[in-house]
Homo-oligomer: A and B are copies of this chain.
Amino acid sequence: MDKRISSAAEAVAEIPDGATVMIGGFGGSGAPIELIHALIDQGAKHLTVVNNNAGNGHVGLAALIEQGRVDKLICSFPRSADPSVFVETYKAGKIELEIVPQGTLAERIRAGGAGIPAFYTPTAFGTEVAEGKHIEVFDGRSYVRERWLKADFALIKGELGDPHGNLTYRMAARNFNPVMATAATTTIAQVSSFVPLGGIDPEHVVTPGIFVQRLVEVPTPAQEEELNRAEAVYP
């Protein structure tokens, strides 16, 4: 068994129109830029994307949105240093937005990966974000019921990856990546380095390979923040 794929293009080739795609990262930290750009090249349309944000500048998720490929975005915070792509697309009525509090977003994804169809959270009780949702009182406190969130594909960014898909991450680039890896039917990871089996200490594995279906090596991954400082535009 070897889950390694030779190119980002091949890794994302089968993502169909209409797919739900989770994309890791928090802002640019941990964003799998090369996988997103491969998805732009690949052409899939009418995507539902799950990400914490809504892209920045004209690369990565912002570029995917700019190309008109995202019908719906599920996120907590659609703001950034340069959110113009999302803002214009949203104001033109060309993208649907579902706002989810950040912890609820993370937990809904975790629930999707962990086989928990619904859970209760105190977050957002009494706010308009909870409108229409089931409310229940436990031990005298009110909670909002939230549903799991799953995806057809997850595009994530790791640091080291072995042939079975065991992964590590780099510093705060971990963020949503491990939890999204658990919640997709097919999880595609880009990693900075392939290592052989045994190349990751069993104690240091963050994402066990069971959650990863394919991985591709991108030795010097682009960093969204640096691309934006250089005013890069993709494609």
Q: Which A residues form the contact surface with B (CB < 8 A)?
A: 107, 111, 114-122, 136, 138-139, 141, 143, 147, 168-171, 202-204
Contacts and interface: CB of A to CB of B under 8 A. Distances in A.
Tell me if A's interface is mostly helix, strand, loop or mixed: mixed
Contacts of A138: 117-118, 147
Contact of A171 (B147, B203, B204): B203
B121 A115 contact: yes
Contacts of A171: 202-203
Contact of A120 (B116, B202, B204): B116
A128 to B, nearest CB: 21
What is the oligomeric copy number? 2
A121 B171 CA distance: 33
Nearest to A134: B136
Contacts of A118: 119-120, 136, 138, 143
B203 A168 contact: yes
Nearest to A136: B118
Contacts of A116: 107, 119-121
Contacts of A141: 117
A150 to B, nearest CB: 11
Contacts of A115: 121-122
Given A147-B138, A203-B171, A120 B121 contact: no
A132 to B, nearest CB: 17
Given A111-B119, A117-B138, A168-B203, 5 more contacts: A115-B121, A117-B139, A118-B120, A171-B202, A171-B203
A203 B206 CA distance: 9
